[in-house]
């Protein structure tokens, strides 16, 4: 309730997306530091709503510097002046987008939720997507529009069947200590991995048909290079992981291990042994996939539909509570290698 007669404090669940390249993660950076988080911009936009009490944005899933989100979530409380009704969710969405000062952040949708709803603790599922590209023997072979959007590997192919076999060892409820980075605030390393998939990704729209890989080795200067190109071999792959929550850097560590299997450096049986070792400092499990290939794909809540399955541009329904279907989903958390974990959801 509000502090004055007729003043009501309304809680909203807000879904938002961002390109993580320019941010020091999603969490706000306090103080006089030059680094900035996505939350800083969301709270700045929320200040323009003229709430009677300051608006605090509570993030569902904390992602690291360089990690992206197709759909993350947060809750916030807005208390308007006495006599003014709460903002309709659609109006709140439009107002936040209008006041956001960074082009790489977008609010997707908002929902009215009960006052005891919590964006982090009420989540029932989080899904992370990791994108790989093979056939990149040189950095300039990756389209500029794909840079900082995937992990470019020099290998021409991956042993996908072996990766899928290895992923099966990770499914279920386990002690994932071997895939947790030091400094995690989690009190228990036990997590339940509901889904782990490896699949070929549809061809990138940014790879042009006429793109080719030059094969000019041994040709003299001034030689006719017509026909001295072979078709480009860029191929994209997706890894997806679903759980209610993840340990600090768990997704990036699992990705690195599965890539090692795909490259022939490890076997599926070794992945099972690594999991059972519960040793985060073992020879192989210290590998961590780069942050820029990771996307938080969806965050789900009981009673709310999977927004990630809809087109964000078309998801304009208003909701007065979590019982309405068609709500947005959200992706997973990631953090930079040089920083320690922050409070909140982990990855």
Catalytic sites, residue numbers: 64
Q: Do 268 and 257 meet the contact criterion of CB atoms below 8 Å apart?
A: no
φ and ψ of 131, to 5 deg = -105, 135
Q: Which residue shows structure tokens 């993350």? A: 72
From its phi and psi, is residue 80 left (phi > 0), alpha (psi between -120 and 50) or beta? beta
Q: How far is CA 241 from CA 77, 105, 131, 253, 295, in A?
A: 31, 24, 12, 12, 11
Q: With the C-alpha atoms ordered 274, 158, 238, 181, is the resulting torsion angle positive or negative?
A: positive
In DSSP notation, 285-339 reads TT----GGGEEEEEEEETTS--GGGS-GGG-----SSTTSS-----------TTS
Alpha helices in 128-267 (DSSP H): 160-170, 250-262
CA–CA dist 278, 177 (Å, integer): 5
Is 106:93 a contact under the CB 8 Å cutoff? no
Residue 142 DSSP symbol: S
């Amino acid at each position: 309730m509000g502090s004055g007669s007729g003043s009501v404090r309304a809680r909203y669940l807000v879904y938002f997306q961002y390109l993580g390249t320019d941010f020091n993660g999603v969490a706000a950076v306090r103080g006089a530091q030059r680094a900035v988080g996505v939350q800083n911009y969301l709270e700045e936009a929320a200040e323009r709503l003229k709430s009677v009490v300051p608006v605090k944005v509570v993030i569902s899933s904390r992602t690291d510097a360089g990690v992206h989100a197709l759909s993350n979530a947060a809750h916030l409380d807005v208390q308007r002046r006495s006599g003014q009704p709460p903002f309709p969710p659609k109006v709140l969405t439009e107002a936040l987008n209008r006041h956001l000062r960074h082009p790489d952040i977008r609010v997707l949708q908002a929902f009215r939720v009960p006052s005891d709803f919590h964006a982090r603790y009420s989540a029932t599922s989080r899904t992370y997507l990791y994108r790989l590209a093979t056939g990149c023997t040189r950095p300039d072979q990756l389209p500029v529009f794909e840079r900082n959007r995937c992990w470019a590997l020099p290998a021409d192919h991956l042993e996908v069947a072996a990766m899928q076999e290895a992923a099966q060892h990770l499914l279920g409820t386990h002690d994932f200590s071997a895939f947790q980075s030091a400094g995690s605030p989690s009190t228990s390393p036990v997590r339940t991995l509901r889904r782990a998939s490896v699949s070929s990704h549809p061809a990138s729209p940014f790879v042009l048909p006429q793109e080719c890989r030059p094969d000019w080795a041994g040709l003299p200067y001034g030689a006719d290079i017509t026909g001295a190109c072979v078709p480009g071999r860029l191929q994209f792959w997706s890894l997806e992981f679903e759980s209610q929550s993840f340990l600090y850097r768990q997704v990036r560590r699992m990705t690195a291990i599965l890539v090692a299997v795909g490259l022939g450096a490890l076997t599926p049986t070794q992945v099972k042994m690594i999991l059972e070792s519960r040793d985060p400092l073992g020879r192989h499990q210290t590998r961590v996939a780069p942050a820029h290939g990771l996307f938080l794909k969806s965050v789900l809540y009981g009673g709310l539909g999977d927004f990630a399955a809809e087109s964000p541009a078309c998801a304009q329904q208003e909701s007065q509570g979590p019982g309405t279907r068609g709500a947005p989903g959200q992706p997973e958390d990631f953090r930079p290698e040089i920083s320690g974990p922050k409070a909140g959801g982990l990855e």
